Amino acid sequence: MRLGLDIGGTKMEAAILATHSGRDEVLARERVPTQREEGFASVYKRMVQLISTVLNQNGTSISDLDGIGIGLPGAINPQTQQMLNGNTAIFVGQDLPALLSHDLEFSGSIAVANDANCFALAEALLGVGLRHAQELGTTPEHLTSIGVILGTGVGGGLIYKGRALEGPHGGAGEIGHTQLDPGGPKCFCGRQGCAETFLSGKGMETWYADRFGEKLFAMQIFDRAEMLEKKALEAVQIYRRYLDQFTLNLINFFDPDFLVFGGGVSLQPAIYQGLEERVWKQTFIPDTRPRIYQNTLGDSAGVIGAALLIP
């Protein structure tokens, strides 16, 4: 059995994953608010309580676990397993494996990864990747894929033959900070025109307000476009153009079997309309036709992927 922890800015979730007859299944799962404004000590205490809760739900002892996987919202140093940066700064520099090993008296392995990597890994092995592999007559471990989160920000995970690529410094998959327009909006990373400034929900809301003089949530813009409101329709067209460019860049760079989108913006059907066909016409390698999917595991993909960090 493996325990996964997905620690986000607003919620944290724990789940126990076990393999039966060659299939992974979730035995217990619990979710609580992160309440990061209370600081690291308080959040960490609630993490420990959350682990205890799911263990009790399943009638499991900590010693029964093969390991604990943790997804955090930031880049992770592969050597130290500590978070280097991210919007939930209370975790930066914290040695969670050492703390949990000591406080839980746990001698098993503890792995930490970027939460987008966890999302991508879960969808590749147990979500859309499983279905895609079945259609091809192969197994998910033989496929290459990209998981793209279009949410408050834009993140990604690169999966090669069943494993997430981290890079020597933990920076692999930071696709949200590839540049789409050098003259575009300024990104928090210090550059201009990053994919995140155009394709995240927050980014869309910002450039929509600048262009059309009205503050709306991204979901409201898509809803108004469905009602054929002129400004919203134009905004969705702009979004699609940048998404086409971004997706094409990813395909030409990584040559995946498929891409899977997650995050709040990924729930909008409008972003998928004609996307595959438009991108397929422009790929550098002729007849490259990777499928593009909406995620199937929902917002629990992260915690499942965290558990999958443990072999």
Residue for token digits 């760079």?
A: 253
Token digits for 290? 């990777």
Q: Is the dihedral of CA 106, 109, 112, 118 positive or negative?
A: negative
Q: How sure is the predictor about 243, in pLDDT bands with cuts at 50, 70 and 90?
A: very high
Please report the pLDDT score of residue 22 as a whole number: 75
Residue 183 contacts by C-beta under 8 Å, 6 or more apart in sequence? 192, 193
Question: Position 65: which residue type?
Answer: L
Report the pLDDT value the prediction gives residue 10, as an integer from 0 to 100: 84
pLDDT, average across residues 284-308: 94
pLDDT at position 253 is 95
Instruction: Give ranges for CATH 3.30.420.40 in the chain.
Output: 2-118+300-307, 138-295
Average pLDDT over every residue of 263-267: 94
pLDDT, residue 86, reads 79
Instruction: Say how many Å lie between the first and final Cα of the chain, rounded.
Output: 10
Average per-residue pLDDT for the chain: 94
Please give the Cα distance from 293 to 264 (Å, whole number).
Answer: 14
At 107, list the tokens: 């001698």
Name the residue among 88, 62, 122 with its Cα closest to residue 304.
122
pLDDT tens digits along 204-232: 999 999 999 999 999 999 999 999 999 99
pLDDT at res. 231: 97
pTM for the whole structure: 0.92
The CA-atom distances, in angstroms, between 256 and each of 99, 161, 163, 224, 249 are 37, 11, 14, 34, 11
Q: With a cut of 90, say whether residue 244 has pLDDT above it.
A: yes
Q: Is the pLDDT of residue 21 over 80?
A: no
The fold of 2-118+300-307 is Nucleotidyltransferase; domain 5 (3.30.420)
Give residue-wise pLDDT tens across range 58-108.
999 999 999 999 999 889 999 999 999 877 889 999 999 999 999 999 999
What integer pLDDT is reported at residue 310 of this predicted model? 95
Angle at 206 between CA 203 and CA 207, to 5 degrees: 90
Handedness of CA 135, 141, 142, 144 (dihedral sign): positive
| Domain made up of 138-295: CATH architecture | 2-Layer Sandwich (3.30)
Q: What is the pLDDT of residue 28?
A: 93
274 backbone dihedrals φ, ψ, rounded to 5°: 75, 5
Q: According to the model, what pLDDT value does residue 49 have?
A: 96
